[in-house]
Amino acid sequence: MYNHLKNLTLKINFENLDQLSVALCLCRSSPNLHEIYAKVHSINAARMPHESFWEVQEGFDGLFANLRIVTVNGIIGSKNELGFIEFVLTNAPVFNEMNFKMSANLANSIFRIFRDLMGFQRASPRARIICLGK
């Protein structure tokens, strides 16, 4: 257990099942985590077989009990990226804000991403979603 870990920075490819599993394991092993910063790394659009990864995650009660802020930099709106964001929002009861910065080439996807993000349920009534631009 990493009981003293409060801030976690990840460089992650959300389309890589191994990287997703390691990130989730780190979060599960860090009960006092307050902030996560994730930099999206080398998205490979051809590797999309893990779309249901977040849907099958169970038994994570209290996983993000102390999480307050998440920043995701460079999202393109893939199902795994949005699944991660939704997973955090639905499992973080004291959550304050989700900051995200989109990849530069998203003109045709921005509205879909915003629609999806605004539709996610939130465990915390104070949770805000903030776009930091592109």
Residue 127 tokens, joined: 């949770």
Per-residue confidence (pLDDT) for residue 130, from 0 to 100: 87
Kindly list the domain boundaries of the chain, sorted by start residue.
7-131
Strands 35-40 and 69-75: parallel
pLDDT tens column, 2-57: 999 999 999 999 888 888 889 989 998 999 999 999 999 865 544 544 556 777 66
- Percent of the residues in the chain that have a pLDDT greater than 90, as a whole number: 41
Cβ-contact 10, 37 below 8 angstroms: yes
Q: Which residues contact 111 (CB under 8 A, 6 or more apart)?
A: none
Q: Give the CB-side neighbour count of residue 26, counting CA atoms within 13 A.
A: 19
- The pTM of this model reads 0.85
Q: What's the chain's average pLDDT?
A: 84
Give the Cα separation of 121 and 114 in Å (integer).
14
The residue whose two tokens read 């900051």 is 99
Give the Cα separation of 116 and 109 in Å (integer).
11
Tell me the average pLDDT across 60-68. Answer: 84
